[in-house]
Chains A and B, each alone.
Chain A
Amino acid sequence: MTLLQIAFFFLSALALASAILVITRRNAVHSVIWLIVTLFSVGGIFLLLHAEFLFAVQVILYVGGIMVLFLFVVMLVNLDVAVKQAQFSRQWQLALATAIILMAELAYGIYRGHQGFTLAQTSAVPPTIGNTQAVALALYQDYMLPVEIASVLLLVAMVGAVVMAKRKLE
């Protein structure tokens, strides 16, 4: 086992374990912290794949941006009430059945297509352009229109959220 593989398995295990902790913690702030650990481990896997830009964006956007907002909201919630409430709804049997079916489907898919899951060989020739430039070229040259459409959609959602929040205030 190479160092790279050890790092990969460690990060994956960390991501899964912390993801489970996110849904089992009673205290919402603890859940948020474990979710941050999950996001970090996924970022670490990006780094293993030499995607430094993706790693930086993962940390800046998810850990540094979105999770801070999560924490902000959770800190304002009355946690004493939240702790006393039932953590799981009564439909857990149904959820478990669904999850098992989904797992079985996934396992079957992986079994059928396992030849496709060999690790990609890193190319012998080092890439001529950096990771950041490669992402930029893909986003703003090859997929210009989809990116623009997606950003307009996000803008619409943002304006919509502001309008709805304003109406409630009045």
Chain B
Amino acid sequence: MATHSDLPLLLLMTLAKVVVVLGVLLTAIAYIVWMERKVVAHIQSRWGPYLVGPHGLLQPLADALKFLFKEDIVPDEVDRPIFWLAPLLAFTLAFLSISVIPFGESITIAGHTIPLQITDLNVGLLFVLAVTSLGVYGVALAGWSSNSKFPLFGGLRSSAQLISYELSLGLAVVSVVLIAGSLSLREIVEQQRGLWNICKQPLGFLLYFTAAVAETNRTPFDLPEAEAELVGGYHTEYSSFKFAMFFMAEYANMVTVSCLATSLFFGGWLGPVFGPPLVRSLLPVLWFALKVLAFLFVYIWIRGTLPRFRYDQLMGFGWRVMLPVALLNVLGTSLIVAWRSV
């Protein structure tokens, strides 16, 4: 328990954690983009980026430089304050929810035990859901403020899609909360020590992952930015670093959703632990990272494999299949939980 004399130390530790997590996340995002290009290239029998650095490993750096030095074009008829606000909002919200994700148990440095998580809210899961539900504003406002037809359609589609799939996402998460009896992600992971939740909630996981792919606007649910019909969707009018912010937000969201899937269904940082104390405290982080990486690979794999849905199919699937199944899943889970506790 933190006392008042500990406060500066606590602040310093939190600040250090924020810096480290943001640094890792930004680097990870850069290399997920590289991984995506490589994996999709190999799925399509191509080489992918190969020129900048060995196997194109410095490509993310080159991309970042390009984004920074490109001219930032703002069309005349845009609603300026909102045109600026939208990418900022998308970017900030995407990076906010990572703060409640636990990466490992705790690490002891010079007698201080530091939990490997920026903050352990007791409503952590609700916090993530709240931040996710705000994500739609970035997209919707970008689409509207551009004052141009393609972004507007992209923004509208995206709002509708996010609202529809958020329900199933929330309900899939509720079934896990029912089993765990807690909204704290740390406790949810701890409680999976015996058996991972994927065994108890296979349907819940399928629902979660499908809804999550839709929430992050990825193929086969990437209608908001369908190139063939909408040019680029909500970010058509954005260029330079404002576009980069949307781009990074999308990948940060992918990471968050994968982290959450790992914590909720695949036992988070849990895994075999052995060796000296330092290795003992760092191995969980490795297990966590590997699980998240596996999810990210599945994301890219799906993108390389499946064609895009049609818009009416997307909405129909969300409301007529996902939502009823998610509701039934919650009903079934709560019945079992209630029956067990009697």
Q: Is the CB of B136 within 8 A of A68?
A: yes
A64 to B137, CA, bound (A): 8
CB of A102 closer than 8 Å to a CB of B: no
A115 to B210, CA, bound (A): 56
Considering only residues 110-169 of chain B, those with a C-beta below 8 Å from chain A are: 121-123, 126-127, 129-130, 132-134, 136-137, 140-141, 143-145, 152, 155-156, 159-160, 162-163, 166
Q: Which residue of A lies closest to B144 (CB)?
A: A75
Q: Is the CB of A72 within 8 A of B122?
A: no
Q: Which residue of A lies closest to B162 (CB)?
A: A68
Considering only residues 8-55 of chain A, those with a C-beta below 8 Å from chain B are: 27, 29-30, 33, 36, 52-53
A40 to B136, CA, bound (A): 16
Q: Is the CB of A132 within 8 A of B130?
A: no
A81 to B159, CA, bound (A): 24
Considering only residues 52-72 of chain A, those with a C-beta below 8 Å from chain B are: 52-53, 56-57, 59-60, 63-65, 68-69, 71-72
CB of A161 closer than 8 Å to a CB of B: no
Q: A68-B159, A68-B163, A75-B152 are in contact. Are A56 and B133 (CB under 8 A)?
A: no
Q: Which residues of B contact A146 (CB under 8 A)?
A: none
Q: Which residue of A lies closest to B167 (CB)?
A: A65
Number of B residues with CB within 8 Å of any CB on chain A: 29
Q: A60-B133, A71-B140, A75-B140 are in contact. Are A53 and B123 (CB under 8 A)?
A: yes
A27 to B147, CA, bound (A): 14
- Give the interface SS of chain A, mostly helix, strand, loop or mixed: helix
Considering only residues 22-47 of chain B, those with a C-beta below 8 Å from chain A are: none
A81 to B140, CA, bound (A): 21
CB proximity of B129 to chain A, nearest CB, Å: 6
Q: Is the CB of A68 within 8 A of B140?
A: yes
Q: Which residue of A lies closest to B135 (CB)?
A: A64
Q: Is the CB of A60 within 8 A of B130?
A: yes
Q: A64-B130, A68-B137 are in contact. Are A75 and B156 (CB under 8 A)?
A: yes
Q: Is the CB of B140 within 8 A of A132?
A: no
Q: Is the CB of A52 within 8 A of B121?
A: yes
Set A29, A65, A76, A130: member contacting B82, Cβ < 8 A = A29
Q: Which residue of B lies closest to A67 (CB)?
A: B137
Q: Which residue of A lies closest to B125 (CB)?
A: A56
Q: A68-B163, A75-B140 are in contact. Are A33 and B134 (CB under 8 A)?
A: no
Q: Which residue of B lies closest to A40 (CB)?
A: B134
Q: Is the CB of A64 within 8 A of B133?
A: yes
A29 to B145, CA, bound (A): 9
Q: Which residues of B contact A72 (CB under 8 A)?
A: 140, 156, 159-160, 163
Q: Which residue of B lies closest to A130 (CB)?
A: B122
Q: Which residue of B lies closest to A53 (CB)?
A: B123
A142 to B140, CA, bound (A): 41
Q: Is the CB of A75 within 8 A of B163?
A: no
Interface residues of chain B, those whose CB is within 8 Å of chain A, are 79, 82, 85, 121-123, 126-127, 129-130, 132-134, 136-137, 140-141, 143-145, 152, 155-156, 159-160, 162-163, 166, 183
Which 7 pairs show the lowest CB-CB distances between chains A and B? A64-B133, A56-B126, A59-B130, A52-B123, A60-B130, A75-B144, A56-B123
Ordered by A's residue number, 13 sampled pairs between the chains whose C-beta atoms are within 8 Å are A33-B141, A52-B122, A52-B123, A52-B126, A56-B127, A56-B129, A63-B130, A64-B133, A64-B134, A68-B136, A72-B156, A72-B159, A76-B156
